Structure 1
Amino acid sequence: MNTRIRILIAIVGVVALATVAVVYIGLAAARNRDATAVGTAGAVTLTRGPRLLVRSTADGDRGHLVTVSATDPGGPRAVSPVSCTRVHAAGGTGLCLRQDSDLTTYLVVLDEQLKQKREIPLFGLPSRARVSPSGRMVTWTVFVTGDSYSGGRFFSTRTGILDTTTGEVTRTLEDYAVTVNGEPYPVADVNFWGVTFTKDDNRFFATMSTGGHRYLVDGDFAARTVRTVRENVECPSLSPDGTRLAFKSAVDGDPAKGWRLSVLDLSTAAVAPLAETRNVDDQAVWIDDRTVAYAIPRGIDHSDVWSVPADGSGTPRLLVPDGESPAMLG
């Protein structure tokens, strides 16, 4: 091969690489614009109504926020230009966890029209997002480098809370005073995830991991305290009437065997395993006082939202194809 041909090949290679870089940067910028789009949301709003909000996993609009009719959730979809990795909404407030091209995660608070109200860098991988029923409190969980709550060596969790009214931020629940079985617990290896708020915007439930145990904890935002309630309860979700918690529990206490959905009655401590027997690695949501919804992965980059009765009866049914992170807006 002569010198002229080698030079020509090198030039073509450089141009090709530059083209790929420009395309990548352009796509990343487009994703970033989508994640903070402020007035171009079209038919998608967070106003109260009989609709479900989900993150789309469909080809063509993957990651975008969409709404569907609560009476026809498998029907027409209204698609927003806003993209998130995790999402939740309640009381006219939306919480969007998104990742930039540099893999930094941002918490984005949205108003009813999907306009960005606040943005906070979180520096972790998105895991959970939840908004209190009133829309005042938002809470999130990200994975960060450290010890895993499931016994691994590479990741731990950081869970925080933002009061959107006062602007007060709790960066990590690890700063709260912890009580285990009624005794102060000054141990550093605690991890929290999966917060769910009561209607008073102060009390909450969450999961805490420490010493190889996973606990349901009852928290107080104002007092900065949490106390353990019972073991093997993960990703709790409080029912609209405030009487029950949907949660996932590790099969035989071993997360490696997967998780089973159940419902805990807070007054009687009775647990009802639900009719969904597949592995559900999600924080379920309540569609109403009788039904919970959750995402089940399907293939690569696809998930579907399913629902099941909250009393252990019935059978699971497909609710929203190609969706995840569901939230009931009605």
Structure 2
Amino acid sequence: MTLRTRVLVLICALVVLAGIATAAVLHASARADRRDRAQPGGPSVTSGRVTLADEGRMIFRNMAWGPHRDELTTVPASDPSGPRTASKVKCLRFYAASGTGVCLQAVHGAVQDTYRAVILDTHLHERARYDVPGIPSRARVSPSGRYAAWTAFVGGDSYAGTNFSTRAAIVDTRTGRLTPSLEAYRVMKDGRTYHAADLNFWGVTFASDDRTFYATMATKGTTYLVRGDLRTRTVTTLRTNVECPSLSPDGSRIAFKKRVKGLPKDAPWHLYVLDLRTMRETPLAEGRSVDDQAVWRDDHTLVYALPGDYGADLYTLPSDGTGKPRRISTAAVSPAYVG
């Protein structure tokens, strides 16, 4: 074989290899593009204007694959499965009331992710931000919009077991005063001040008086519903085996998840509603384990998330124990009703 022939063979080989490399890159790009687009049969999502003041809207974190995944997205509350308008604001957890929103976000770093809570105005513009010490879990805003709360895992990443640690924070959105952890509050248990090194708080929910809130407290293997007072900075235990409380709009009942004996360790909860006057519990007609802080659509209807094909779907259920669950939206989590 002459030198010229060898050179021609080498050039041809390089051309073939370059062609293979180009084809591989194009194939990978096409796969990524298909992955980023909404899956067939998934919800329709387009960019547009999203505010916390539009009448009769539901805003939530969009879970559908595509360029708008994790963005705050809005639909008519009367048509929750309809076309979605996405905001470009991404949140892991979200809630809003009276024109104030709280958005818990991940900040992706070269070594590890960090997290923050962002207080949003009516137009989803940032008003303030606060560091969050772990993986975001729950978020709430008081009915007036004055207070916001969030919960994060600072150890572990699930409520199902016992080996986890949480931190619940409350901020006054008017003054910026932050309570980084409810562990700073005085705990009243059985009429006495209670101290323990293993206190955990999560799942804050606010009353309409800008003073009272409810939350879950755990200590020595038992969970408690506690009533908190923002002025005296105290929490008082009310009842055991209550997790992720959610106060009804009229302030008379709390929806919560309750551990039920005999269920799997990784799916131990059923939904209940507690009448705060009589302390009578009503089991709801949802047979599946719900690991969520339910949202009250109105005084008679609850909305909550369950695992779905895209991560989570939203379901609705009457709050009086009747009826049956109904899926209202796929690929959605952290709903708030605004306007």
TM range (shorter): 0.7 to 0.9
Q: Is the 8 A contact 1:143 1:156 kept in 2?
A: yes
Partner of 2:88: 81
Larger radius of gyration between Structure 1 and Structure 2: 2
Q: Helix, strand or coil for the counterpart of 2:257?
A: strand
Match of 2:229 among 215, 220, 236: 220
* Structure 1 segment 249-260 matched on structure 2, within 5 A: 249-252=258-261, 256-260=266-270
Q: Helix, strand or coil for the counterpart of 2:183?
A: helix
Q: Helix, strand or coil for the counterpart of 2:116?
A: strand
Partner of 1:184: 193
Partner of 1:244: 253
* Structure 1 segment 116-131 matched on structure 2, within 5 A: 116-131=126-141
Structure 2: distance between partners of 1:148 and 1:245: 22
Deviation at 1:51, TM superposition (A): 0.9
Match of 2:102 among 95, 102, 109: 95
Q: Is the 8 A contact 1:245 1:264 kept in 2?
A: yes
Structure 1: distance between partners of 2:232 and 2:311: 41
Q: Is the 8 A contact 1:236 1:283 kept in 2?
A: yes
Match of 1:273 among 276, 279, 283: 283
Moved more, 226-235 or 177-186: 177-186
1:164 aligns with 2:164: no
Structure 2: distance between partners of 1:214 and 1:72: 37
Partner of 2:312: 303
Cα–Cα, structure 1 residues 244 and 48, in superposed 2: closer, same or farther, change >3 Å? farther
Cα–Cα, structure 1 residues 150 and 324, in superposed 2: closer, same or farther, change >3 Å? closer
Deviation at 1:42, TM superposition (A): 3.4
Residue identity matched to 1:106? R
Q: Is the 8 A contact 1:149 1:157 kept in 2?
A: no
Structure 1: distance between partners of 2:267 and 2:100: 36
Residue identity matched to 2:277? S
Deviation at 1:151, TM superposition (A): 5.2
Match of 2:52 among 40, 46, 52: 46
List alignment gaps of at least 5 residues for structure 2: 1-13, 19-24, 30-46
Partner of 2:71: 64
Percent identity among equivalent residues? 52
Deviation at 1:303, TM superposition (A): 0.9
Deviation at 1:253, TM superposition (A): 8.6
Q: Deviations over 1:9-44 (max 9, x none)?
A: xxx9xxxxxx9xxx9xxxxxxxxxxxxxxxxx8321
Deviation at 1:325, TM superposition (A): 0.4
Q: Is the 8 A contact 2:274 2:281 kept in 1?
A: yes
Residue identity matched to 1:196? T
Deviation at 1:251, TM superposition (A): 1.5
Structure 1: distance between partners of 2:262 and 2:202: 17
Q: Is the 8 A contact 1:151 1:212 kept in 2?
A: no
List alignment gaps of at least 5 residues for structure 1: 1-7, 13-18, 24-40
Q: Helix, strand or coil for the counterpart of 1:135?
A: coil
Residue identity matched to 2:318? P
Structure 2: distance between partners of 1:257 and 1:295: 14
TM-score in terms of structure 2 length: 0.82
Deviation at 1:320, TM superposition (A): 1.7
Cα–Cα, structure 1 residues 253 and 95, in superposed 2: closer, same or farther, change >3 Å? farther
TM-score in terms of structure 1 length: 0.84
Q: Deviations over 1:82-114 (max 9, x none)?
A: 001101111100100001112110000000000
Partner of 1:194: 203
Match of 1:108 among 107, 112, 118: 118
Deviation at 1:147, TM superposition (A): 11
Structure 1: distance between partners of 2:159 and 2:136: 15
Deviation at 1:62, TM superposition (A): 1.5
Cα–Cα, structure 1 residues 234 and 123, in superposed 2: closer, same or farther, change >3 Å? same
Match of 1:290 among 274, 282, 300: 300
Match of 1:208 among 186, 210, 217: 217
Q: Is the 8 A contact 2:161 2:266 kept in 1?
A: no
Match of 1:318 among 324, 327, 332: 327
Cα–Cα, structure 1 residues 217 and 101, in superposed 2: closer, same or farther, change >3 Å? same
Residue identity matched to 1:64? E
